[in-house]
Amino acid sequence: MLYLLKLEWKKLNKLAAFRIFIAFYLALLPTILLLGKRIPELPPPLMTNEVLFIFPTVWEWLAYVGSWLCFFFFGFLSIISITTEYSYRTMRQNIITGLSRKQYFLGKLYVILGVSVLATAYYALCALLIGYFNTPAIYWHKVVQNASCIPRYLLMCFGYMSFGALLGFWVKRTGIALFLYLSYVMFLEAILRWGVHLQLWKHHSMHFYPMNAIEDLTPLPFTQMADEFISNYGFSLFLSPAEAVIATLVYSVLFLLLAFRLVKRADL
């Protein structure tokens, strides 16, 4: 495992996109949330911007900010780190010099897991620091009340990167893979959900599309919006945490299994 991680680190460290994406993630995660201090009033039911920064709600709001950053930076990173190896024939060189296809794939899997763990640790640190310096009275039960967001955040990062890896191994071309990733996450799945479910078949199953399941791990914390959706359609606006976790785990495993099959069949 350590050997494969060292090998992947040598490749990632030479990748400009890796350094840029990591730097932007580190800078933007706390900054975007703290920009909320410049908003004097928020719409109901929030009313005050304090909820963005105090325990226990800081966990949810920072996780929502982080979900957008992980979707963009880490999903892109997963794709670029794989497609550039096809472009420069690094995969071919690694296998010729002794790596098996399974080891090559495991190296990518370890990177996805490692980036997800480190990104989650940084999220937890930022949430603790922001909450500590902005909550008037610190009570331990309030600090840990929404800390269940931490494992869900980890799974969210892992899910986006797993989907990016599948597209990278499948398409092999950076530009096309990035276009498909953005198109599916931002538009295609939403159009499918709207066209099939909200127009033809209003059913709870609309939430179990892969990217929506990942998004619902750290959803927008608007309870009023969720209650209005229930009254209009008869089911919740979001998956429950347990449903989102199970669905994302299933999809992530499926993405990785398909990616592994593509590695085994790839032409060198």
Residue-wise pLDDT tens digits, 34-65: 998 787 666 665 557 888 999 999 999 999 99
The whole-angstrom separation of Cα 160 and Cα 164 is 6
Question: How does DSSP classify residue 201?
Answer: -
What is residue 67's DSSP assignment?
Answer: H
Output the furthest CA–CA distance in the chain (Å, rounded). 61
pLDDT of residue 225: 47
Mean pLDDT across the stretch 19-44? 87
* pLDDT score of 267: 75
CA 249 to chain centre: 13
- Please check whether residue 27 is in contact with residue 123, taking contact to mean a CB–CB distance below 8 angstroms: no
Residue 229 has pLDDT above 80, yes or no: no
Average pLDDT over residues 158-170: 97
Residue with tokens 């902005």: 134
| pLDDT surpassing 80 at residue 20 | yes
pTM, entire model: 0.92
**Rounded percentage of the chain residues whose pLDDT exceeds 90:** 67
Q: Identify the residue with better confidence: 131 or 36.
A: 131
CA distance 211 to 209: 6
Q: Is the pLDDT of residue 14 over 90?
A: no
Q: Give the residue-averaged pLDDT of 15-44.
A: 88
Q: By mean pLDDT, which of 1-5, 173-177, 224-228 is the weakest?
A: 224-228
pLDDT above 70 coverage of the chain, percent:
88
Residue-wise pLDDT tens digits, 77-125 = 999 999 999 988 888 888 888 889 999 999 999 999 999 999 999 999 9
User: Residues 250-265: pLDDT tens digits?
Assistant: 999 999 999 999 999 8
What is the model's pLDDT at position 232? 53
Contacts of 105 (CB under 8 A, 6+ apart): 259, 260, 263
Residue 224, pLDDT above cutoff 50: no
